[in-house]
Amino acid sequence: MKSFDVAIVGAGPAGCSAAISLHGSDMSVALIDKSEFPRDKICGDALSPDVVNQLNMLPLETGSMFDKFEEKIWCKAVRFVSPNFSHADVSLNQRNITGYVSPRIDFDQFMFSQAIKSESVTPILGSGIKTIQKHSDGLVIELANGESIKADVVLGADGANSAVARILSEDKMDKNHHCAGLRQYYEGVTGFSEDNAVELHFYKDLLPGYFWVFPLPGNRANVGIGMLSSYVSKRKPNLKKKLKDIIENHPNIKDRFKDAKALEEVKGFGLPLGSKKRNLSGERYLLLGDAASLINPLSGEGIANAIRSGRVAADYIKSAAADYSAKSMKAYDREIYRRMWGELRLNYWIQIAMRNPTLCNFIVKRAIGNALVQDLVISGFSAEQIRARFKR
Ligand SMILES: Cc1cc2nc3c(=O)[nH]c(=O)nc-3n(C[C@H](O)[C@H](O)[C@H](O)COP(=O)(O)OP(=O)(O)OC[C@H]3O[C@@H](n4cnc5c(N)ncnc54)[C@H](O)[C@@H]3O)c2cc1C
């Protein structure tokens, strides 16, 4: 049986950033993923300026490698469209920051190739984890192909349906803090703004979810809708039909799709929102990214926090001096929420307000027009920074 200091389960942004951050630590790392790379991930593909910040903080010159990475399109604004069709643009240009949109099949391959640059990282691909057994001297991870791997500690970065969380944690999915999302790639959508804004359309029967259209390289677009899972359970909407209906009939949208062509069938996936605190650790394990439910409850963005949690997890493992007791690991939970809870909670408050169409119109018109709220909504701030800015 192969033995490692650290087993990272999941090679998405969270798992790869943990592997990249462990570079130079002398720890042997298994980077396990059920898929072979490159692989697709259902997503809006938007990389906020905070993602760029996070990449700049990773070793192996990840930030400058991302500058050179070509499969992305810049975007210099975020457009919020309210139920009454008025809109507010948050300019990234004015703040001297840039966001990007990059198909996840390309962006995740970029992150994966950074992660395996480190000689201490061994990729183990193509077979998902089946069980994890706890022993006094470590964990034994059994893969679906029958292979077993031993590790001192496991980082669960295996996404929204995390097997690591299911096996090792008692927390269950809460529909009130979960969103259902659909994505479809298109070619030939027209009407994007000059600054390539990513567009969030808050239409009445999706609130607080929204319909999105994001520009992609090569005249393509990422189009989709998201709705709270508790609303899906209650109202039982046919989300695929809803998406088709908006594209074909919505007065604000239909003309822009007149000559557009769908490049794939509609695909769906879940978004575990970070609007409720969870247990993120236990004896010999930490949860990262979507496995830890760290998605922004208003925008649905989770890539920045996935990368941030990968960095925090790696720093914690390096400083833990091999003390992986449940009590000691709680320091990771505290650090994650110290950095992220202020922003997650603020976005949750706005999400609650956006459930009401009248308030949603007001928020888009007045609050999104406010410079402070704009800063808070688009940028990743720590709880302390948010408190300090509100005080000011
Ligand atoms: C429809 C939709 C739209 C979204 N739009 C955006 C957006 O525009 N911008 C944004 O920032 N965020 C967006 N998100 C959220 C974003 O996709 C996630 O927050 C992000 O992918 C989290 O990264 P991760 O590394 O935690 O998990 P993932 O990216 O999901 O990676 C998990 C990895 O684990 C692997 N894995 C899963 N199970 C196992 C197993 N049993 N064994 C081994 N490996 C396993 C998977 O193959 C995968 O490679 C969206 C999500 C959805 C569903």
CATH number at residue 202: 3.30.9.10
Residue 29: strand, helix, or coil: strand
Does residue 202 sit in the same domain as residue 114? no
Atom of ligand 1 nearest to the CA of 35: 47
50 touches ligand 1 (CB under 6 Å)? no
**Of 272, 302, 333, which one is at a domain's C-terminal end?**
272
| Residue at 133 is within a domain | yes
Structural domain of residue 364, as residue ranges? 2-75+98-174+273-391
Furthest C-alpha separation in the chain: 63
Q: Is residue 85 part of a domain?
A: no
Task: Give Cα separations from 198 to 10, 86, 276, 290, 361 (angstroms).
Answer: 28, 16, 27, 22, 19
Query: Of all protein residues, whose CA lies closest to atom 8 belonging to ligand 1?
Result: 44
Residue 239, token pair as written in the block: 């989300």
The pLDDT assigned to 382 comes to 52
Based on the domain organization, do 193 and 263 belong to the same domain? yes
Of 272, 289, 308, the one marking the end of a domain is 272
Q: What is the reported pLDDT for 335?
A: 97
Number of domains the chain is built from:
2
In a domain, 286, yes or no: yes
At residue 197, what is the residue type?
A: A
Q: Do 9 and 164 form a contact (C-beta atoms < 8 A)?
A: yes
Amino acid letter for position 326: A
Residues 6+ apart with CB under 8 A from 87: 79, 80, 81, 364
d(CA 269, CA 134): 30
- Specify whether 200 is located in the same domain as 281: no
Decide whether any atom of ligand 1 lies within 6 Å of the 129 Cβ.
Answer: yes
CATH number at residue 139: 3.50.50.60
Q: Are residues 256 and 295 in the same domain?
A: no
AA identity, residue 129: I
What is the 378 CA–ligand 1 centroid distance (Å)? 20
CA 157 to ligand 1: nearest atom: 26
Q: Do residue 190 and residue 290 come from a single domain?
A: no
Residue 37, CB half-sphere, CA atoms under 13 Å: how many?
A: 23
* Phi, psi angle pair for 385, to nearest 5°: -65, -40
Partners of residue 178 on adjacent β-strands: 272
86 part of a folded domain:
no
Which of 207, 237, 272 is the last residue in one of the domains? 272
Same domain, 232 and 323: no
84 inside domain: no
| Statement to judge: residues 149 and 255 lie in one domain | no
Q: Tell me what pLDDT residue 250 has.
A: 95
Q: Cβ(342) to ligand 1 under 6 A?
A: no
Angle of the 383-391 helix axis to the 326-353 helix axis, nearest 10: 40
Residues 68 and 122 in one domain: yes
From the alpha carbon of 305, which atom of ligand 1 is closest?
Answer: 19
CA of 252 to the centre of ligand 1 (A): 30
Residues (pLDDT < 50) of the chain are none
Q: Are residues 216 and 194 in the same domain?
A: yes
Task: Show the tokens assigned to 244.
Answer: 């088709």
3-state secondary structure of 52: helix
- Name the residue at shortest CA distance from atom 12 of ligand 1: 301
Q: Determine, yes or no, domain membership for 230.
A: yes
Same domain, 56 and 149: yes
Pairing mode, if any, of strands 210-216 and 77-81? Answer: unpaired
- Asked if residue 83 belongs to a domain, the reply is no
Is residue 89 in some structural domain?
A: no
CB proximity list for 385: less than 8 A, separation 6 or greater: 342
Whether residues 302 and 197 share a domain: the answer is no
For 253-310, strand residue ranges (E) read 261-262, 267-272, 281-282, 285-287
42 lines ligand 1 (CB under 6 A): yes
345 and 374 share one domain: yes
Q: What is the pLDDT of residue 288?
A: 98
pLDDT at 387: 58
Does any ligand 1 atom lie closer than 6 A to the CB of residue 99? no
